[in-house]
Chains A and B, each alone.
Chain A
């Protein structure tokens, strides 16, 4: 996968995950007293990283 394709995929996922109307943001932050919004982002980032790694294989 080229750097340009990497960038395009990252940008696409960034828009998918972090733009648009929030209908169920509370789904991410509703468990206990843990900062799940932040935790959620970490989970997603780990997944994006996996996406990129898989794309390079």
Chain B
């Protein structure tokens, strides 16, 4: 039976019995069973995976695998084997860390380039980069000062900052976000999390 693979975990007990534990080297992958005829876009499956993912994070930090990878246990283990040694190092270094996300709506949205107008992929990527949203530099600095971070340009309307936060520091980030709401009343932003290691999945 195929499973939708949710993440990579240090210990088997981090996974079971919430999800199926699939051995991958000395790591464990978490999986949720999917029937042969069930499409990955199925609403119930999406919600079930989202629910299990949240419960797994409550238990222990893991490396998130993007939704869409469904495989038998043997296929999943084979596909992930090359990553396992690095994932183990990342997980050991970030056992007590989670991610939080600050999503910022740009005050001046930019039009996204039409990919059909480009004949070269590199030109399109350059135009895409030029069309990326920007935020108030002072707000960016204030968010960046909250801790280890990575900014990502999402699209022409928004950008995002992923923060690597100790589990014990989640409340501190929430309180800081409340202060930022008052300090930067004109900036529309959303703080969310905690999340598993997503943007920092390569963090060593």
Contact = CB atoms under 8 A, between A and B. Distances in A.
Q: Give the interface SS of chain A, mostly helix, strand, loop or mixed.
A: helix
A37 B41 CA distance: 14
A4 B57 CA distance: 21
A25 B115 CA distance: 20
B198 A15 contact: yes
A16 B80 contact: no
B68 A25 contact: yes
Interface string B39-55: 00111001101100110
A13 B54 CA distance: 11
B196 interface: yes
Interface string B20-55: 000000000000000000000111001101100110
Q: Give the interface SS of chain B, mostly helix, strand, loop or mixed.
A: mixed
B66 A21 contact: yes
B201 A20 contact: yes
Given A12-B54, A25-B66, A25-B68, A20 B196 contact: yes
A5 interface: no
A13 B46 contact: yes
B47 A51 contact: yes
Interface size class of B (residues with CB under 8 A): 35 or more
A27 interface: yes
Contacts of A11: 103, 190, 192
A47 B66 CA distance: 17
A1 to B, nearest CB: 13
B198 A28 contact: no
A10 B20 CA distance: 25
Contacts of B66: 16-23, 25
Contacts of A22: 66
Contacts of B103: 11
Interface string A22-41: 11110110000001000000
A39 to B, nearest CB: 11
A53 to B, nearest CB: 10
A23 B24 CA distance: 14
Interface of A: 7-8, 11-13, 15-25, 27-28, 35, 43-44, 47-48, 50-51, 54
Shortest Cβ-Cβ A-B pairs, 7 listed: A20-B64, A19-B198, A24-B69, A23-B69, A20-B66, A20-B198, A11-B192
Interface of B: 5, 7-8, 41-43, 46-47, 49-50, 53-54, 63-71, 79-80, 83, 101, 103, 115, 190, 192, 195-199, 201
